[in-house]
Chain A
Amino acid sequence: KNEVEQSPQNLTAQEGEFITINCSYSVGISALHWLQQHPGGGIVSLFMLSSGKKKHGRLIATINIQEKHSSLHITASHPRDSAVYICAVGDTDKLIFGTGTRLQVFP
């Protein structure tokens, strides 16, 4: 059974700061997903990656398959980035979710 751990659980930042959220998992996977959950509850897919690095706007996701570790970076953070960021790993027909990292960015 795959265990997904995220750190930190909570993160507070000032606008403009560079943010890093980490995710590690215990068993080899086919793909890792980063998702964003807003206070209203809705879940949005940010990235799906199985190797290397992906970038979308101010968001960058990296994965190291050998170390079973992924990071999500936010450059030039903004208050609208405040949300819960969730790492999930693909396991055949399902996603296994981490507990999430609650990010608050203050002006």
Chain B
Amino acid sequence: EPEVTQTPSHQVTQMGQEVILRCVPISNHLYFYWYRQILGQKVEFLVSFYNNEISEKSEIFDDQFSVERPDGSNFTLKIRSTKLEDSAMYFCASSEVRGGEQYFGPGTRLTVT
């Protein structure tokens, strides 16, 4: 069964460093999402992406964040200068149609020290 994959599973970085989180969505899906979950809190929407551009972003998704689909398979989330409060689990998701069922990757645990 097709699945969303994410790498790395765990990333430790120092405050101020740039990180890139990678996702490979399901191959025939057209809509891509990033969510994050701070430990002990609920999952929060960051950004949605379709047709090579951002379709919606949350207040969390400020200028420090960017997303890219550099080739036909990868979907990346970049955090330019990490802060302690960026420590969280980051989930990538994809769906075939707008508003359709979303399939989640296993997540990347980001720890900023």
Contact = CB atoms under 8 A, between A and B. Distances in A.
B42 A31 contact: no
Contacts of A88: 43
Which of B31, B50, B106 has the most CB atoms of chain A within a 10 A radius of its CB? Answer: B106
Contacts, number: 59
Given A42-B104, A97-B43, A31 B99 contact: yes
Interface in B11-51: 31, 33, 35, 37, 41-45, 48, 50
Contact of B102 (A45, A92, A96): A45
A93 interface: yes
A94 B33 contact: yes
Grouping DSSP codes into helix (H, G, I), strand (E, B) and loop, the A interface class, with mixed when no group exceeds half, is strand
Contacts of A86: 42-43
B89 interface: yes
Interface residues of B, number: 26
A86 B33 CA distance: 18
A66 B102 CA distance: 25
A43 interface: yes
Contact of A30 (B43, B48, B89, B99): B99
Given A43-B91, A86-B43, A100-B42, A95 B102 contact: yes
A84 to B, nearest CB: 10
The bracket for how many chain A residues form the interface is 20 to 34
A92 B101 contact: no
A44 B101 CA distance: 11
A51 B16 CA distance: 47
Nearest to A100: B42
Which of A40, A43, A45 has the most CB atoms of chain B within a 10 A radius of its CB? Answer: A43
B102 A33 contact: yes
B107 A41 contact: yes
